[in-house]
Amino acid sequence: MNKMMNAAIAYEFGKPLVVESIPVPDVPSGMILVKLVACGVCHSDLHAVNGDWPIKPKLPLIPGHEGVGIVESVGEGVIGIKEGDRVGVPWLYKACGKCEYCLSGWETLCEQQLNTGYSVDGCYAQYIIADPNYVAHLPANLGFFEAASILCAGLTVYKGIKETEVKSGDWIVISGVGGLGHLAIQYAKAMGIRVIALDIHEEQLELAKSLKADIVINVAKEDPIKKIKTAISGAHGVLVTAVSPNSFSQGVDMLRRKGVMVLVGLPSGKFELSIFDTVLNRKTVRGSIVGTRMDLIESLDFAARGLVTVHYTKDKLENINNIFSAMKSNKITGRIIIAL
C-alpha cells in the first residue's frame, strides 16, 4: 500500500479544483521523489485550469510549477543528488537534451519538453516525481518560501529583462506589478536599471513604490504613453507581464527608437503592430518563455544575496479556489504561496 498525500486536482476546464487524498507515486528509475514544502501560485496555473491557451494541459491535472521541497528518495541509477537535498521543481520538467535547442543552451525551446503542472502533474501536492537533471538546487541560505516563486516568477522576469537588452542606467517599463512584476522591479533595480511600473490597482503600485520603482503609473487613471513620452522620451525596454492584450499594443508605443519590448504575460488573444512604426523606429518585439537552468541558478543567486525578495502570503491547499478567484480579479499583492 502506498502512502497517501493531499493534492488539488483539476478535472474539467473552468471548474473548481478538488482537494483529494491520493497515493504517493512510486519513484521510477532515473527519477527522484520530492516531499514538497511549498508551492507558489502562478497566473499560468489559472490559465491552465481554465484551458486558456491553444495547447491544452492534461486532464485530470495537478497544477503548480513553483514547488520546493526535500528529496525523499532517489530512483535507481540517479547520481549527483541525494536524499535530504533541497530542490525546486520548475515549469521545465524535462527536455530531450539532444536537439539543436537543448544543445545550444535553449532547452526552454525543446520541442520534446514536458512541463510541470501542465503536461505532467505538478506541485499542488505533498509529493512529486521529478527529473534530477532539471530540478533547481536551492541556495543554503534561502528559505523554502523565499525560494518558491523564484522558480517561475523570478526566473521568467530575470530572463525577460535580459531579453530586453537594457543596460545599467537605461529605462525599463514593467507593465503589471503582480507575482512576476514585483520581482521584475527588484531584478531591474539590482541591475542598475531605472524602472517605470504600471498597474491598474493602487495596492500593487504602493508595493512598486516600496520596491523603489522610479515612476509608477496607474494606467486605469492616466495615459501611460503620454506620461512616459513626456518624462523620458520613451523607454529602452518594456517587459509586459500584465494579463491584458491592451497592455501589449500600448507597450510598443512606450518604446523609444531602437527599443525592445519583451512579452511574458500570456493572456489569450492578439494585438496590432504598426509596420511603419516598427520599421522606421527599429523596434523589436520578442517573446520570452521562463528561463534556462543557468538562468535559474542566476536568478536564485540574486534572491540568496538579498537583492530580490518575494513578497508573499502563506495559504492552504484547501483554499486554492478562493486564491484563483482573487487572482482573476487582480486582488493579490505579491504572491500567494501554499504551505504543503
d(CA 127, CA 188): 34
How many other CB atoms are there within 10 angstroms of residue 226's CB atom?
11
By CB under 5 A, is residue 152 in contact with Zn ion?
Answer: yes
d(CA 100, CA 142): 34
Could you tell me how many residues make up the chain?
340
Q: Which residue has the cell 541556495?
A: 139
By CB under 6 A, is residue 215 in contact with ligand NAD?
Answer: no
Nearest to 88 by CA among 236, 270, 233, 297: 297
By CB under 6 A, is residue 178 in contact with ligand NAD?
Answer: yes
From the number of C-beta atoms within 10 Å of its C-beta (0-12, 13-18, 19+), residue 124 rates as: buried
By CB under 5 A, is residue 297 in contact with Zn ion?
Answer: no
- Member of 113, 115, 164, 204 binding ligand NAD (CB under 6 A): 204
By CB under 6 A, is residue 231 in contact with ligand NAD?
Answer: no
> Under rule CB under 6 A, how many of the chain's residues touch ligand NAD?
36
By CB under 6 A, is residue 44 in contact with ligand NAD?
Answer: yes
Least distance in Å: CB of 46 to ligand NAD?
8
- Member of 126, 164, 186, 244 binding ligand NAD (CB under 6 A): 244
By CB under 6 A, is residue 198 in contact with ligand NAD?
Answer: yes
110 binds, among Zn ion, ligand NAD, none (CB under 5 to 8 A by kind): Zn ion
- Member of 247, 252, 262, 302 binding ligand NAD (CB under 6 A): 247
Site for ligand NAD, residues 144 to 173, rule: CB under 6 A? 152-153, 156
Number of H helices, E strands in the chain: 11, 17
By CB under 5 A, is residue 108 in contact with Zn ion?
Answer: no
69 versus 181: smaller Cβ distance to ligand NAD: 181
Nearest to 320 by CA among 117, 138, 86: 117
How many other CB atoms are there within 10 angstroms of residue 228's CB atom?
24
Q: Which three cell numbers stand for residue 38?
A: 511549498
Contacts of residue 242, Cβ cutoff 8 Å, sequence gap at least 6 = 175, 176, 178, 181, 198, 199, 265, 267
- Member of 110, 239, 254, 303 binding Zn ion (CB under 5 A): 110
Nearest to 127 by CA among 272, 298, 288, 7: 7
By CB under 6 A, is residue 179 in contact with ligand NAD?
Answer: yes
Site for ligand NAD, residues 86 to 125, rule: CB under 6 A? none
Query: Using omega within 30 degrees of 0 as the cis cutoff, is the peptide bond preceding 60 cis?
Result: yes
- Member of 17, 34, 43, 49 binding ligand NAD (CB under 6 A): 43
Interacting residues with ligand NAD (CB under 6 A): 42-44, 47, 152-153, 156, 175-181, 198-201, 204, 219, 241-244, 246-247, 264-267, 288-290, 327, 330, 332
Interacting residues with Zn ion (CB under 5 A): 42, 44, 95-96, 99, 102, 110, 152
